[in-house]
Amino acid sequence: MTYTCPVCGYNELEDPPNRFEICPSCGTEFGNDDYFNTHAELRQQWITSGAKWWSDCDSPPPDWSPVTQLLNIPYEVTDADLASIDTTIASFSFRDIKQAPTINDIGIAVIKATLNIIPNRNMIVRGRFGSESETLKTLDLEIA
């Protein structure tokens, strides 16, 4: 059984959104962040800050979209929300890679295919790599 975050609509929480469970999408810690703020206030803060995937440890689901995700809760996305939501960055994680991947045309093609990026669309891709026992490193690519 999975649960839905009442702040951002992420519908793959393993535990109910309470008792200090943290949503990997918006970063809300239930029982802490929502003690003084309503879910609506936390949602607006997340959207205003770009509605980016919060977790460095958990990758977003394939084809993750904060706009689509918000439809999982009773919330109507506004034009102002769309202006705030950062849709230019796709995030992903390199799991168990010991060193930075070599960036070449083949690597970029693989990343484009993996992320289902629309051809001829400028995009910045941000990924993390490294094992759990070492510090994660960040790789940023600009794909045109």
The pLDDT of residue 139 is 52
One digit per residue, the tens of pLDDT, for the chain of length 144 reads 999 999 999 999 999 999 899 999 999 999 999 999 999 999 999 999 999 999 999 999 888 899 999 999 989 888 888 888 865 444 444 443 444 444 444 455 445 544 544 444 444 455 544 444 444 444 555 554
pTM of the model: 0.61
- Boundaries of every domain in the chain: 1-86, 88-144
Q: Which residues of 64-94 are buried (b: 16+ CB within 10 A; e: fewer)?
A: bebeebbeebebeeeeebeeebeeeebbbbb
* Strands 123-129 and 89-93, bridge-based pairing: parallel
